[in-house]
Amino acid sequence: MELHFYPGRNLLVAKDKTRIHGRFEAWGGPSTIGNDARMAEEPTWPGQYIIDKSHAYRTNTWPLSRITWGTKLLDKPSQDDVWYQLPENKWGSIKNDHKISRSDIIDLYFNLYSLRIVPKKWVFNDFGPVAIRWFKDSNGNRKLDANEQLSGQMFHTTQANEAEEIRRLPINMVHSHGCIHLKPRERDQLFAIGAFKPGTIFTVHKYYENL
């Protein structure tokens, strides 16, 4: 199995030497550098890579992504706060630790699910429940070695698309900052056919290239 991404077509193809296993809608970064003040949008970098792993992703770069998707929450209205679960069954304050208020969380959830509540788990991470990581394989052994590193670009869904899937609404795909956005259901289909197995060859084609 190999994966081929055609960013100019918003198309991801899973195939082997004999047949195509599936075509999936996928949106990378724009073809030119953008002007987002937080982090400029950039093209998805062309080249051949190797799929390494899939995991729940967190990063300090994006405020809502400092907490892993699915982290348990406890509503504390008497304290005007929301707690989130830490390792070893401890709890932290989102207000104190991340400067996100209880009213912010209620607004975020309303914007996604049209309900004014504090959810039972964190569903606001910009990278969705799972990110699929890849790397440039310098020696061709299809393993991440000490002198190689994971790309800052990755496959993932978005919080908005996850909400649309749960609510059975049309999935509104948009360009990323360089990562590759997938539809939640199609991400699951790709996992099911083994497209994200570690060691899978993955090629990002140039924006003018076609299948």
Give the tens place of pLDDT for each residue, 14-50: 999 899 999 999 999 999 988 887 888 999 999 999 9
pTM attached to this predicted model:
0.95
Query: Measuring CA to CA, which residue among 136, 141, 176 is closest to residue 156?
Result: 176
* Range list of β-strands (E), 28-173: 47-55, 73-76, 81-86, 90-93, 131-135, 150-156
Q: How large is the average pLDDT for residues 124-135?
A: 98
On average, the pLDDT of the chain sits at 96
Q: How large is the average pLDDT for residues 54-58?
A: 97
Q: Percent of the chain at pLDDT above 90? A: 93
At the top level of CATH, which class does the domain 2-59+128-204 belong to? mainly beta
Per-residue pLDDT for 195 more than 90? yes
User: For position 34, what pLDDT does the model report?
Assistant: 84
User: For position 89, what pLDDT does the model report?
Assistant: 86
Gap between the Cα atoms of 6 and 24, Å rounded = 11
Gap between the Cα atoms of 65 and 26, Å rounded = 21
Sheet holding 81-86, edge to edge: 73-76, 81-86, 90-93
Which residues partner with 20 through β-bridges? 15
Per-residue pLDDT for 179 more than 90? yes
Where in the sequence of the chain do the CATH 2.40.440.10 domains occur?
2-59+128-204
User: For position 40, what pLDDT does the model report?
Assistant: 82
Per-residue pLDDT for 208 more than 90? yes
Give the tens place of pLDDT for each residue, 130-177: 999 999 999 999 999 999 999 999 999 999 999 999 999 999 999 999
Sorted by sequence, the CB contacts under 8 Å of residue 8 that are 6+ apart come out as 31, 206, 207, 208, 209, 210
Which helix (H) or strand (E) covers residue 27, if one does? strand 20-27
3-state secondary structure of 192: helix
pLDDT band at 56 (very low <50, low <70, confident <90, very high): very high
Which residues partner with 154 through β-bridges? 133
Place of tokens 């990063």: 59
